[in-house]
């Protein structure tokens, strides 16, 4: 009885953590990051106690080898960084959060509670989307208007891009992208008319909010996620329909710009001439050249974690960017530039091992659990694709989401019904 109460309290705290990353803007997440670690560490100790402090079983099983290898390989840059203290502080924050979140979610999720966690993500995403609609309606976000300063606010509120509680349209977009497969799953899997209508409302709120971020990276990730879904389900007509609709709407947008002289922000962001120029001359294209310059000089261990902005001018080759853009706007570029080929290899091996696990589990899992596992991995795939277009490990919400999903995927090997 006591063990059941402890387990339920842990799940309640995990749901509160999910609400935290959904509703609390980035500056407050950073400000109270230490307190969050204390809570997570307390949960970690309680969880470990439930396993009778069996470290081998809890965090050193064969499922965890590549996780520890990843943390080891990205740590090597600290010894060669220009400012080792800066690299160490960043690594300490990254690794502590990763360890606590990954192992708690891996060891404390069972099949029933995974459903609650996914449903909690969906409900929080719907609430965040609803708040975003009020922001669009009143053209004002009271959080950034009255409670905190945000370098993003004035720019995005004028552009009509939804930010909601997550401060930046790209961060909002990736968060909603992770949740939308689960929202669709819960809509399809319920027989009750009332609950089905509620779930449909949740799904449509999240889907429409994704559109209103006007985030190119999120749009592309969503299209690729749908394409992967169509291929895996062998629904090739869906594939043609998805890309056919994309081409059709792109044609309409560009036609509006050329002949009707419509000059909305949507047209500016998705017009073909603007996109062509952005791909050639935009800040993201420049960051690939800068990363290449870094790797020429520091191929193996990079320049050190959290050093990209600090040493930007040294490797930019004369490229000028504003301070806020002096970051590798891709998780993969970040690993290449700051941890070199060794750290990048650690991340690559870790992800390959996760996908090997996904393929194996998807073949073995059966029944209703297969659908729930499928939407979990689709959200994870969407997150990985989207993280190629923004500095995802420098923002708390996508960083936390990454380790939540990895923990639940790894933990699925012991909780899902399997073929004998």
Over the stretch 372-415, which tens digit does the pLDDT of each residue have?
899 999 999 999 999 998 888 999 999 999 999 999 999 987 76
| Residues 6 or more apart whose Cβ sits within 8 Å of residue 345 | 73
Which pTM value belongs to this model?
0.95
Cα gap 264→98, rounded to integer Å: 41
Mean pLDDT of 242-264: 73
Start-to-end CA span in the chain (Å) = 31
* H or E, element range at 76: none
Token reading at 213: 């971020």
Q: What are the distances in angstroms from CA 288 to CA 120, 189, 327, 332?
A: 37, 43, 11, 11
Question: What's the confidence (pLDDT) of residue 416?
Answer: 59
For 319, phi and psi rounded to 5 degrees?
A: -70, 130
Do 94 and 397 form a contact (C-beta atoms < 8 A)?
A: no
SS3 130: helix
Please say if the pLDDT value at position 417 is more than 60.
no
> 109: closest CA among 212, 11, 35?
11
Mean pLDDT of 146-150: 86
Question: What's the confidence (pLDDT) of residue 367?
Answer: 76
Do 214 and 269 form a contact (C-beta atoms < 8 A)?
A: yes
* H or E, element range at 291: helix 283-297
Q: What are the distances in angstroms from CA 103 to CA 23, 115, 123, 383?
A: 23, 18, 24, 20
% of the chain residues with pLDDT over 90:
65
191-236: per-residue pLDDT in tens?
A: 788 999 999 999 999 999 999 999 989 999 999 999 999 998 888 8
Question: What's the confidence (pLDDT) of residue 375?
Answer: 93
Cα gap 28→144, rounded to integer Å: 12
Residue with tokens 């977009």: 173
pLDDT band at 281 (very low <50, low <70, confident <90, very high): low
Please say if the pLDDT value at position 45 is more than 70.
yes
Please say if the pLDDT value at position 85 is more than 80.
yes
pLDDT band at 173 (very low <50, low <70, confident <90, very high): very high
Give CA angle at 310 (327, 402), nearest 5°. Answer: 40
* Alpha-carbon dihedral sign for residues 181, 185, 188, 192: negative
Please say if the pLDDT value at position 257 is more than 90.
no
Q: At what angle do helices 216-232 and 169-188 cross, to 10 degrees?
A: 30
Bridge partners of residue 365, in order along the sequence: 418
Residue with tokens 């497969």: 181
% of the chain residues with pLDDT over 70:
92
Do 46 and 11 form a contact (C-beta atoms < 8 A)?
A: no
């Amino acid at each position: 009885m006591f063990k059941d109460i402890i387990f339920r309290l842990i799940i309640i705290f995990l749901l509160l953590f999910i609400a935290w990353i959904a509703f609390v803007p980035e500056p407050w997440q950073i400000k109270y990051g230490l307190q969050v670690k204390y809570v997570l560490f307390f949960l970690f100790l309680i969880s470990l106690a439930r396993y009778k402090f069996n470290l081998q079983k809890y965090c050193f099983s064969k499922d965890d080898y590549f996780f520890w290898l990843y943390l080891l390989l990205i740590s090597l840059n600290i010894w060669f960084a220009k400012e080792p203290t800066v690299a160490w502080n960043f690594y300490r924050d990254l690794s502590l959060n990763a360890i606590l979140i990954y192992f708690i979610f891996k060891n404390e999720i069972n099949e029933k509670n995974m459903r609650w966690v996914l449903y909690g993500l969906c409900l929080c995403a719907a609430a965040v989307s609803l708040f975003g609609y009020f922001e669009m309606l009143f053209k004002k976000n009271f959080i950034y208007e009255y409670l905190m300063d945000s370098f993003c606010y004035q720019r995005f509120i004028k552009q009509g891009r939804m930010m909601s509680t997550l401060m930046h349209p790209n961060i909002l977009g990736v968060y909603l992208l992770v949740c939308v497969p689960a929202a669709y799953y819960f809509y399809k899997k319920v027989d009750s008319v009332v609950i089905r209508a509620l779930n449909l409302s949740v799904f449509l709120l999240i889907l429409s909010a994704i559109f209103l971020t006007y985030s190119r990276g999120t749009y592309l990730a969503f299209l690729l996620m749908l394409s992967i879904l169509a291929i895996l389900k062998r629904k090739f007509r869906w594939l043609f329909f998805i890309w056919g609709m994309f081409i059709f709407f792109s044609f309409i947008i560009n036609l509006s710009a050329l002949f009707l002289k419509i000059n909305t922000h949507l047209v500016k962001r998705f017009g073909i001439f603007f996109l062509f120029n952005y791909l050639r001359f935009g800040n993201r294209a420049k960051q690939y050249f800068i990363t290449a310059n870094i790797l020429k000089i520091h191929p193996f261990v990079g320049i050190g974690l959290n050093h990209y902005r600090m040493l930007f001018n040294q490797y930019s080759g004369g490229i000028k960017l504003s301070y806020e853009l002096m970051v590798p706007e891709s998780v993969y570029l970040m690993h290449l530039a700051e941890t070199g080929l060794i750290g990048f290899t650690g991340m690559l091996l870790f992800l390959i091992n996760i996908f090997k696990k996904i393929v194996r589990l998807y073949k073995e899992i059966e029944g209703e659990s297969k659908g729930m596992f499928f939407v979990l991995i689709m959200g994870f795939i969407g997150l990985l694709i989207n993280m190629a277009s923004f500095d995802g490990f420098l923002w708390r919400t996508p960083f936390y989401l990454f380790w939540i999903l990895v923990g639940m995927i790894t933990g699925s090997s012991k909780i899902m019904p399997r073929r004998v």
